[in-house]
Amino acid sequence: MASGAWTSCPPDEITWLDRRTLSNDEDVTLHRAPRCAGLRYVHHRWELFSRDTTYRVYLAPDTGGEAWPDSRDVQRAAVHVLPVAPARYEALPVTLAEGSWLVSVGKRVVRLRLELPVRPLSGASPSLPVGETTKAGTIVQRDGAPGEEAVARVRHYFDRNTTARLAMAYYYQEFIRGRPAPQTVPMMDVVIALDLSGEGAVSDYKKLLQGFIWKERGHARDLADFLLGNGLLTPADLDEARQVAAANERSGVCETARRRLQYRPKA
């Protein structure tokens, strides 16, 4: 199919945003199915998901400009970012709302159009122009899952509390880097690297964030997926956190923190 042509996405099969769809097989850095991003219809809704182990997938509203959007513009305007997927896993999917969206994978951009209502296996379906990527962004909506206001609450908190944002980026750094079977950084290492107030600082941040998102505790295992899947923690945040940690190590702040945390007053 010609680049820029619209094609229907059948609701009873996955539409893969693979090398052929995005670049007519020209860009060999893009993956083929099933190791790429895709669109699927599940639970009476359309989802954008990603199994891409190389590229993040950026989703942004399509403002309808005449010129074809550049991938960098799409990435800057993204309201949702699917992280690089660990091997054999996929990033937390994004539920698509009605409207027009842009999806960016690498340097490629595609345009999506979703028209509602959607009827299971038989109704209207979103259309996708082959050979382009678009970023689209609605918040992940699962049964019992938080919505857009939860993302807004966390984003507002991180905007006001740089220390919390950097602490969580440092703590989840293996997740942000897309490492296979990622592990969190030991909380004490985070406290020392960023000179936090005490041993319980990271745990307190996690509890506070769970309250913002789910209004209850007990979702610690879901926290990384939520923060990364909604673009609330990014590689830029991790880079900033690591720079702060390196500066603290050079200036002796980390050594002072180690001594401070080893001190235990007598009862």
Residue 185's pLDDT is what?
93
Give the amino acid at 266. K
Q: What is the DSSP string of 151-165?
A: HHHHHHHHHH-HHHH
Which among 170, 148, 160 is positioned nearest to 95, based on CA atoms?
148
Q: Compute the distance between CA of residue 231 and CA of residue 223 in angstroms, rounded to an integer.
A: 12
Direct distance between the N- and C-terminal alpha carbons of the chain, in angstroms, rounded to an integer: 76
Q: What is the DSSP string of 86-117?
A: PTT--EEEEEPPSEEEEEEETTEEEEEEE-S-
**C-alpha angle with apex 39: 13 to 14, nearest 5 degrees?**
20
Helix ranges (DSSP H) in the chain: 19-23, 71-77, 148-160, 162-171, 173-176, 187-194, 201-214, 220-229, 235-251, 253-262
pLDDT value, residue 221: 80
Count the neighbouring beta carbons within 10 Å of the beta carbon of residue 121: 11
Mean pLDDT value of segment 75-92:
80
What is the per-residue pLDDT across 176-195, written as a single tens digit (0 to 9) for each?
Answer: 888 777 899 999 999 999 99
What phi and psi, each to the nearest 5 degrees, are found at residue 81? Answer: -130, 120
Portion of the chain with pLDDT greater than 90, in percent:
30
Is 78:137 a contact under the CB 8 Å cutoff? yes
Radius of gyration of the chain (CA): 21
Q: How far, in Å, are 9, 237, 256 from residue 15 at the CA level?
A: 6, 32, 55
Average pLDDT of every residue of the chain: 80
d(CA 162, CA 12): 44
Going by C-alpha positions, the residue among 249, 250, 246, 267 that lies closest to residue 258 is 249
pTM over 0.85: no
pLDDT digits (tens, 9 = 90+) for 97-149: 888 899 999 999 998 888 764 344 444 444 444 333 333 322 233 334 565 68
Domain boundaries, the chain: 6-129, 148-262
pLDDT computed for residue 116 by the predictor: 62
Question: Largest Cα–Cα distance in the chain?
Answer: 77
CA distances to 28, 88, 148, 176, 177 from 181, rounded to whole Å, are 27, 10, 28, 12, 11
Q: What angle is formed at CA 81 by the lines to CA 77 and CA 85, rounded to 5 degrees?
A: 150
Measured CA to CA, the distance from residue 9 to residue 215 in angstroms comes to 37
How high is the pLDDT of residue 13?
A: 76
pLDDT tens column, 8-27: 777 767 888 999 888 888 99
Quick one: pLDDT at residue 58? 93
